[in-house]
Structure 1
Amino acid sequence: MDRGNHSAALSSAWSRYVHLTRHAFKMEFRQKNGLAGLVLFAIASVYTCYQVAGSRADVDAWNSLAWVVLLFSAFNAVSKPWPEDSAEMRAYLVHVVKPQEWILARITFFSLLLSALTCIVFVAFTLFLGSEHLNGKQGLSFFLGMQCTSIAMASLLAMIQALAIRANGGFGLIAVLGLPLIIPVILIATRYGMDILNGISFADTAHNLLFLATLSGGFGALGYILFPYLWND
């Protein structure tokens, strides 16, 4: 009987998590201007880099600019408020969902959103700034690193955004809290990118992806553990 109740509880929790994730995407696609703004910001940032560095940027510039654009695209994605972030909606959600389900759904949403933006940034970079630094395997390895980095950023920034919402701090608080904490992610990503662009084999630098995966899991675990204390505040 207890096993059946436990299974039912897990099924119910999973259903709420899936519903929250789907709802996040529905809200995002309803705000077509906001979604278009994210894409436009990413492409405009790459074009600005092209105007500064030209179509044949050296390896150091190419690598650094790629991560800078991805970083600011990530902060831009989490900066805009949502209708359910209002005090009235939060008061309602407290009684219908668990905080762990809410934060995991938000992390999942931002991970998928930033993964899509990463694809756009990578393609735009290869079009505007050239791809002579990347052969087939290097390009795939660099793209994989960008995806892992975007997930790590999403895990951290989703938690930071949730804290900022509860504190009514807005984007200013997201930037103040997020930039210092995201530095380790950028340092690892930059080191990994330089290794790939300098021709070091994927096997010899794959440990950096493991570090990024560890950071992603750590950020997600912190959000899962700490956010419930703010949920009922």
Structure 2
Amino acid sequence: MLLSLIKKEFVLEFRQKSTLGGVLVYLAGTIFVSALCFKGHLDKPTWNALFWVITLFTSVTISGKSFLKETGGQGLFNYLHYPARQFIVAKILYNMVFMLILSFLTFFFYALFIKNEVENISLFLLVLLLASTGLAGVLSLMSAIAAKANGNFAMMSILSFPVVMPLILVVIRLSKQAVDGLEWAGVGFDFISILVALNVLTLALSFLLFPYLWRD
């Protein structure tokens, strides 16, 4: 059941190519314009900050439509055919995979158009994985709340902002260590622990709260 739900999400996404195409154009265009403006002369803090600004807006765009299309007849069909917890887990996993792929593409375009400032690649990839997981959990739940309140993309963005900020602050701290080239012995594992704890908390809240939201 879970795998079929995830497959359905990918099939629907690739059937409606407008969102995917728009995100890819935004991604490449933003990085290309940044490269023209900065002419490759970004210091490491600016490189790191710009990377996560682009990643955050891309993630919000992807997740914002997760539940906005699950209304009316489609929402009733899903309610009758799929268990609530499996449905939200499928949405989170789909968004996580999608965000992770786009994060890798952002990193690739950065290296292509600007330059690669990351010195500890393995730590940076771990941060990308944890950030994608946390953002998927938060943004999927916020998208569901906005859809149930008959809200739009703007409402979802407003609801997400205060919840996402603690996650992003920890992610920026960790990725800065990767950009600065800290070896694993010098990495702040307290930040990794906080990031993992935030991910577990957001996923648990989504898992526990979504069934009540699903019934309304």
Q: TM-score range by the shorter chain?
A: over 0.9
Q: How does 1:19-38 map to 2 (within 5 A)?
A: 19-38=4-23
- Name the aligned partner's letter for residue 59 of structure 2: A
The residue aligned with 1:89 is 74
The residue aligned with 2:53 is 68
Indicate yes or no: 2:21 matched with 1:39: no
Q: Is the 8 A contact 1:185 1:212 kept in 2?
A: yes
Q: Which runs of 5+ in 2 are unaligned?
A: none
The residue aligned with 1:190 is 172
The residue aligned with 2:197 is 214
Per-residue CA distance 1:111-161 (angstroms, 9 max, x = gap): 000011011001111112212x334xx133223212221221111101111
Q: How does 1:137-152 map to 2 (within 5 A)?
A: 138-152=120-134
Distance in 2, Cα, partners of 1:190 & 1:81: 26
Q: Which runs of 5+ in 1 are unaligned?
A: 1-15
Q: In 2 relative to 1, CA 84–172 (structure 1 residues): closer, same or farther, beyond 3 Å?
A: closer
Distance in 2, Cα, partners of 1:109 & 1:174: 18
Distance in 2, Cα, partners of 1:51 & 1:211: 36
The residue aligned with 2:118 is 134
Shift of 1:191: 0.7
Q: Is the 8 A contact 1:83 1:89 kept in 2?
A: no
Distance in 2, Cα, partners of 1:77 & 1:214: 24
Distance in 2, Cα, partners of 1:76 & 1:54: 27
Shift of 1:83: 8.0
Higher mean C-alpha deviation, range 75-84 or range 104-113: 75-84
Normalising by structure 1, we get a TM-score of 0.86
- 4+ residue runs of structure 1 moved beyond 4 angstroms? 81-84
Q: Is the 8 A contact 1:53 1:61 kept in 2?
A: no
State the identity as a percent.
26
Q: Is the 8 A contact 1:63 1:193 kept in 2?
A: yes
Q: Is the 8 A contact 2:64 2:153 kept in 1?
A: yes
Shift of 1:167: 1.1
Q: Is the 8 A contact 2:65 2:143 kept in 1?
A: no
SS at structure 2 position matched to 1:112: helix
Distance in 2, Cα, partners of 1:230 & 1:212: 26
Q: How does 1:104-119 map to 2 (within 5 A)?
A: 104-119=89-104
Bigger Cα Rg: 1
Shift of 1:210: 3.0
The residue aligned with 1:202 is 184
Distance in 2, Cα, partners of 1:82 & 1:214: 26
Indicate yes or no: 2:158 matched with 1:176: yes
Shift of 1:81: 6.0
CA RMSD, Structure 1 to Structure 2 (Å): 1.7
The residue aligned with 1:160 is 142
- Name the aligned partner's letter for residue 153 of structure 2: F
Indicate yes or no: 2:209 matched with 1:226: yes
Aligned residues: 215
